[in-house]
Amino acid sequence: MKRIAIVLGLAAVVMSCARKDWRDASLTAEERASLLLKEMTLEEKVGQMCQYVAPCYVEPGKGSARKNIDATDENLGNKDLSDKVRRGEVGAFLHVMTSDEAVALQKMAQESRLGIPLLLGIDAIHGNALIEGCTVYPTNINMASTFNPELMEKIGEETALEMRQRGLFWTFAPNLDIARDARWGRMGETFGEDALLTSEMGKYAIWGFQGRDGKYSGNHVVACAKHLIAGGEPAGGLNAAPMDISERKLRELYLPPFVAAIRDAKVGTVMAAHNEINGIPCHGNKWLLNDLLRDELGFDGFVVSDWMDIERLHSMHHWVPDSTEAFVVSVESGIDMHMQGDKYFEAVVAAVKSGRIPESRIDQAAGKILAVKFALGLFEQPVPEIPEVLDGAAEHRQTALEAARQGLVLLKNDGTLPLKNPRRVFVVGPNANSQTILGDWAVPQSDDNVITVLDGLKAAMPNVSIDTLCFGGKISNVNAKGVQMARFKASAADVNIVVVGENSQRYSAFGRTCGENCDRDDLSLPGMQQQLLEAVVASGKPTVVVLMTGRALSIGWAKENANAILNAWEPGQMGGQAIAEVLTGQVNPSGKLPVTVPRNVGQVQTVYNYKHSQYSRLFATNETGALWPFGYGLSYSTFEYSDATLSKSEIGVSESLKASVTVTNNGPYDGDDVVQLYIRDEYGSVTRPVKELKAFRRISLKNGESTKVEFDITPEMLQCWGVSEKWSVEPGDFTILLGSSSADSDLTPLPLKVK
């Protein structure tokens, strides 16, 4: 017996030693990463920190990315880069736009000494939409308008499945920027101006991408919370411009979405922001990237730079004397991976050899990157299998349709909608029959993949005579002659549908006016669209405006003079069907604004959670205040709110209570509404916003149905970052506000005393 015990014991020791191999999939991703690091050279470790743009990348629309690629240098078109891959000096690529290239690059990486797979990332912001044929869901501002986080999670799941099938494993999403300036071009990519709504939508999106356990198993991918931090109200509205911000505003407004992403959703990566905060660029901000992100929030993934933003520490911020110093400072500050290109590798290797950067810092960065690759299962299947037909595509299009339906915001309706069986309809505008409906971060899709507004109307009204004037999808084609023609055609119709707004198409030859790096100093309709709208209205016939845009637009004239306004944002490839269904009454609109709509650009910043002193004075020559408030959106039904109550009128600082309100659908249609709960801390140790959204719930009610909606109010919802520079619930008077939008006229105030 004793001999057996000894043999078994030895076997166990041998086994445990044998088990200590990074190839052993039974070990944790972190264990495997630390074992693999031990076998790597300094160059191979720094290689993991290097990302490059795909060698075959060309902007779609400028000659398509090459097909039928195999892992040979001439096919990839960049021998130097191929050699780096073979030497194990590349860890990741972005903008790999074809699966052929994804396969070729992974095969090439297998030729390296350790065969470490590549991490292929892409901006799958609203579906894997940079890859032709993948589902293009509504943009994030549309999803925020649904106030439906669970639907966002479903889209994340489906997007991850489609990404995996195209050999991609890392999405640079969700965008968690808080958009508080409509001049900034990226509002459409965000979940709007509110911290809670952004936190919830972002958290659910990450759960969808990564899986609820944050293990990226099965058909999940690793997500990226971006951009850390506070780039959503840049000075002058221009992307990447400086941001001066108090720690209070940072913690109360900008940080919560990242806290939710890290603590609740265990996001695997974070991307730093272009801008500086308070004089220190985010890409060199040790307090932000280490003290706050890692030490305080407990982030344990890796941080990737934004595009060339390390180099910009020199070239844009004028903060360090050259790019070599920029590379070194970024590593010292907490950036783990460089997006993208040459010279970084050499600078970092040299800095380690000179003793400027300790090799332990490289082990930390490379270890985090390897752990993600192990968790994704890349080592078990380094070369992806690519199915010809995208699994799930038909179901995903239905999800995209439902999301488009729920994100449409009806801003005005004098009864013209839903359409009353018109005989002749005039559809006019540059966005009526174009792929602007897809929004930013999407490549041109084949036309049979996209349902435009005109397509949707033709399908929804097959027996109606539809006249059109769509200007070839180009805003710049709207000219005086076209305006005159529109006036004439509008007079002959029973109802006019004017589809106007912006163009966020990233790869469009049609003149972008919105999207990344498309900031405007004007919030009116671009080009001659306003004149077009006025000409149609001048016909005297009922006019419906369909607004297709990635930013809030100050369409005050339309608000006064059009009969109805449907804000469609950028509802994706199924958007035209959803819009037609709403216009014809097949679907009851239910979207709510996730941003406040400014009256004009001169009144920016216009947000709902302003301070009491914001409007102590009014503008001298124009009405002051929003065109439409945050949380606002009409239905074809009327919803009545009653019996708003609190379970207690007085609590201690650490107590909770319940708020409830009864909602009745007075018809005439079944429909959804979004019940919103705001709080106001009446007199804090620091000034407090007039209201802050603290809970919301989307409900569905049949015509005539009532329901009681209940919310828990917790101390966390009542706390603030007070004068003591820490989170606390401060005793005093609060007001709880319940209703259907942030407008006071839509809210019932309930007093609450905190002792």
Candidates 203, 226, 283, 592; binder of ligand GLC (CB under 6 A) is 226
Q: Of 151-180, which residues contact ligand GLC (CB under 6 A)?
A: 172
CB 205 within 8 A of CB 155: yes
Q: Tell the smallest beta-carbon distance from residue 522 to ligand GLC (Å).
A: 23
Between residues 37 and 277, which has the closer beta carbon with respect to ligand GLC? 277
Between residues 307 and 379, which has the closer beta carbon with respect to ligand GLC? 307
Q: Closest Cα to residue 332, out of 301, 372, 289? A: 289
Q: Tell the smallest beta-carbon distance from residue 377 to ligand GLC (Å).
A: 24
Distance CA 20, CA 186 (A): 47
- Give yes or no for residue 307 binding ligand GLC (CB under 6 A): yes
Within 10 A of 584 (CB to CB), how many other CB atoms are there?
A: 19
Determine the size of the site formed for ligand GLC (CB under 6 A): 7
Site string for ligand GLC, 185-224 (x = CB under 6 A): ----------------------------------------
Candidates 181, 306, 672, 692; binder of ligand GLC (CB under 6 A) is 306
Which position has the token pair 């106030």? Answer: 147
Name the phi and psi angles at 351, rounded to 5. Answer: -65, -35
Q: Of 76-95, which residues contact ligand GLC (CB under 6 A)?
A: 94
Between residues 147 and 344, which has the closer beta carbon with respect to ligand GLC? 344
Between residues 226 and 412, which has the closer beta carbon with respect to ligand GLC? 226
Q: Closest Cα to residue 659, out of 753, 755, 752, 754? A: 752
Q: Closest Cα to residue 258, out of 302, 228, 278, 301? A: 228
- Give yes or no for residue 57 binding ligand GLC (CB under 6 A): no
CB 121 within 8 A of CB 378: no
Between residues 164 and 226, which has the closer beta carbon with respect to ligand GLC? 226
Q: Tell the smallest beta-carbon distance from residue 383 to ligand GLC (Å).
A: 24
- Give yes or no for residue 258 binding ligand GLC (CB under 6 A): no
Give me 469's structure tokens: 């004037």
Q: Tell the smallest beta-carbon distance from residue 242 to ligand GLC (Å).
A: 16
Between residues 184 and 632, which has the closer beta carbon with respect to ligand GLC? 184
Q: Of 95-124, which residues contact ligand GLC (CB under 6 A)?
A: 123
* Identity of the residue numbered 489: K
Give me 62's structure tokens: 């400028």
Q: Tell the smallest beta-carbon distance from residue 121 to ligand GLC (Å).
A: 8
Give me 176's structure tokens: 């968690």
Write the CA distances from 113 to 13, 47, 110, 356, 581, integer angstroms. Answer: 29, 13, 8, 27, 57
Q: Tell the smallest beta-carbon distance from residue 169 to ligand GLC (Å).
A: 15
Between residues 22 and 172, which has the closer beta carbon with respect to ligand GLC? 172
For residue 369, what is the enclosing H or E element?
Answer: helix 359-375
Q: Tell the smallest beta-carbon distance from residue 446 to ligand GLC (Å).
A: 23
Q: Of 121-140, which residues contact ligand GLC (CB under 6 A)?
A: 123
Q: Of 382-441, which residues contact ligand GLC (CB under 6 A)?
A: none
Give one DSSP letter per residue of 292-320, joined into a string: IIIIIT---SEEE--TTTTTHHHHTT--S
Q: Three-class SS of residue 353?
A: helix
Between residues 94 and 410, which has the closer beta carbon with respect to ligand GLC? 94
Distance CA 158, CA 593 (A): 25
Distance CA 74, CA 69 (A): 9
Strand order of the β-sheet with 224-228 is: 224-228, 269-272, 302-304
Pairing of strands 50-53, 671-681: unpaired
Q: Tell the smallest beta-carbon distance from residue 279 to ligand GLC (Å).
A: 21
Indicate if 467 belongs to the active site.
no
Distance CA 695, CA 264 (A): 17
Catalytic residue among 123, 306, 440, 519: 306
- The site for ligand GLC (CB under 6 A) is made up of 94, 123, 172, 226, 306-307, 516
As annotated, the active-site residues are 306
